[in-house]
């Protein structure tokens, strides 16, 4: 089962073969955010409270594109329980 803090490896996409740690889980949509993986640029408008600019942040990945890697570098199948 996928949960926050697990180490995972990306199987497909622009970040293929990269490893990272899960920082957020979206269970209803079977998606997760992985630290340093699938980075996007977010354009933010300047307001009175915040300075604007272009920021990079992680975007969600579907769990079917990931595989769990444990401490011994053994690979486990990623899945979600409903």
| 81 within some domain | no
**In this structure, is residue 82 part of a structural domain?**
no
Q: Residue 3 has what pLDDT?
A: 87
Answer yes or no: is 31 within a domain: yes
Q: Cα–Cα distances in Å, from 15 out to 20, 22, 46, 61? A: 10, 15, 31, 11
What is the residue range of 19's domain?
7-76
pLDDT in tens, 16-53: 999 999 999 999 999 999 999 999 999 999 999 989 99
Calculate the average pLDDT of the chain.
88
How many separate domains does the chain show? Answer: 1
What pLDDT score was predicted for residue 29? 93
In a domain, 54, yes or no: yes
Residue 18 is assigned to a structural domain of this protein = yes
* pLDDT in the model for residue 37: 94
pLDDT at 72 over 80: no
Q: Is residue 49 part of a domain?
A: yes
**Confidence class for position 2, pLDDT limits 50, 70, 90:** confident
Give the global pTM: 0.76
- Note whether residue 1 is domain-resident: no
The CATH number that applies at residue 34 is 2.30.30.30
């Amino acid at each position: 089962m996928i949960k926050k803090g697990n180490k995972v490896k990306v199987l497909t996409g622009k970040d293929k073969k990269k490893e990272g740690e899960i920082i957020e889980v979206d269970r209803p949509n079977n998606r997760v955010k992985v630290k340093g993986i699938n980075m996007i640029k977010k354009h933010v408008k300047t307001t009175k409270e915040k300075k604007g600019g272009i920021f990079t942040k992680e975007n969600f990945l579907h769990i079917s594109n990931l595989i769990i890697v444990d401490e011994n570098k053994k690979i486990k199948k990623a899945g979600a329980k409903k």
